[in-house]
Amino acid sequence: MEIITSVIQFIMDLGGSIFLPIMITVLGLFFGLKFFDSFRNGLRIGIGFIGITTILNLLISCLDPIVNYYAGTGAGFAISDIGWEGISSIAWSTPFALIIVPLGIILNYLLLRFRFTKTMDVDIWNYFHFILGASIAYYVALEFGVSNVVATVIGILVGLGTFVCVLKFADIIAPKWQSYYGLEGTTCCNNDAYLVWLINWAVCKVIDMIPGVKNIHIDLKWINDKLGSLGETSVITFIVGVLLCLLTRQDLATTLTTSVTLSAAIIILPRMVSLLMEGLLPISNAAKKFFKQHLGDDYEINVGMDEALCLGDQAGLECAVIMIPITVAVAFLPGIGVLPVAGLGSLAYCTCMCSLYSEGNIFKILVSSTVVEIYTLYAMTFMAPLCTQLAFDAGFIESTSTLVTGSSIEEWNCMLLGIVNALFGH
């Protein structure tokens, strides 16, 4: 077991840009593709992943002056935001974390064979979402006084149970995901996405029932028709960047650099997604052929991937920058104790996901995203004591004197465990 754990840890340490090409190459060979065809597909996915990561990092770094300005207004917040990166590190540090990876792969294959799911989750890099809930269950169980062995079993079962739920969620969302985002043969397997989509769906349903408000429809085509070249995505983004910099009192050089970089990021991101899809589609087609041969011609298979694939949505990207001051304003609502500094640069994930049921309607995207952020910040505040204890027990922090929290801790499985923990007075 130690050898298997060491091998898995080595592969995971390589990072997604290296791990994904390896995984895709192996899958391609398994589904009958020639080695160099499979390797090319894996390489394109790796290149696309690097491109997306690079552009997102560029986007986040160019927003640093704006984020720092808002951080300076939040001196009274008592909870530190360690971001999803910190939360994932806590999850992966759980003693049994890496055991869930091979168990999840085996379970996914069996569920495919028995037609329980049509989703093949290749995004093993993001297994930390399942492991996070498993980690919380493990440490909460220890707090209740059970033995380490029993707590480990409980944690693993919670992690695998979450994994099964996500596979079914991925099956349900696949048709809408593919038709709206144009991502044929794929679906999303990130656990954090489903609550966002549920909120997005509910908000859109409510808006559609309000007279007058339901008729508000602002999309990129409407903007382009009204403004011509001035309404083109890169120009609009540049203008929004300038306004945001003026709002946060940036100097001229910072304003120009930030605005141009924002425009570049929003134009390049969809192209990186397209490159990634060039590698995914042959794998998806090969998988479909394989499972049709073994399970029948009527069987469909979808490749489960990161929600980063939806970052090709232009309307969602347009709204990401607008959501920065809105999110900061939300943080000042009564009862919220955290300023999401680490999450401000990643709002594109939220806005692009909220474009799904909004269908590109910028008004609905912004309203949905605002509701998502309200829920997220209250949830992060509620989970802070448990998150802090989890980080301490995992050896991530040396003291519980300062509360910590981060995105991903608000996911549905974590919140359920947090509520159970709170109800029993821990």
Please say whether the beta carbons of 388 and 400 come within 8 A. Answer: yes
Give the number of domains in the chain.
1
Question: How much is the pLDDT for 76?
Answer: 64
Which residue type sits at 227? L
CA geometry: angle 310, 172, 283, nearest 5 deg: 60
Q: How confident is the model over 201-211, as pLDDT tens digits?
A: 999 999 999 99
Averaged pLDDT, groups of 10, the chain, 426 residues long: 58 63 80 83 81 76 76 70 80 81 88 90 82 90 87 94 95 95 90 94 96 84 59 73 84 87 80 77 77 74 86 85 86 87 80 94 95 96 90 77 86 92 77
Q: Which domain covers residue 337, as residue numbers?
A: 2-423
CA distance linking residue 178 with residue 25, whole number of Å:
23
Q: What is the pLDDT of residue 139?
A: 87
Strands 302-305 and 403-405: unpaired
Which residue's entry shows tokens 């679906």? Answer: 187
Identify the CA nearest to 188 among candidates 92, 293, 313: 313
pTM: 0.83
Distance of CA 230 to the CA centre of its chain: 32
Question: What distances in angstroms separate CA 46 from CA 37, 208, 286, one per listed residue?
Answer: 14, 41, 19
Give the span between the Cα atoms of 391 and 404, in whole angstroms.
8
Three-state SS letters, the chain: CHHHHHHHHHHHHCCHHHHHHHHHHHHHHHCCCCHHHHHHHHHHHHHHHHHHHHHHHHHHHHCHHHHHHHHHCCCCCCEEECHHHHHHHHHHCCCCHHHHHHHHHHHHHHHHHCCCCCEEECCHHHCHHHHHHHHHHHHHHHHCCCCHHHHHHHHHHHHHHHHHHHHHHHHHHHHHHHHHHCCCCEEECCHHHHHHHHHHHHHHHHHCCCCCHHHCCCCHHHHHHHHHHHHCHHHHHHHHHHHHHHHCCCCHHHHHHHHHHHHHHHHHHHHHHHHHHHHHHHHHHHHHHHHHHHHCCCCCCEEEECHHHHHHCHHHHHHHHHHHHHHHHHHCCCCCCECCHHHHCCHHHHHHHCHHHHCCCHHHHHHHHHHHHHHHHHHHHHHHHHHHHHHHHCCCCCCCCCEEECCCCCCHHHHHHHHHHHHCCC
Rounded to an integer, what distance in angstroms lies between the CA atom of residue 408 and that of residue 88?
Answer: 8
pLDDT of residue 79: 84
pLDDT at 17: 65
Please give the pLDDT value at position 187: 94
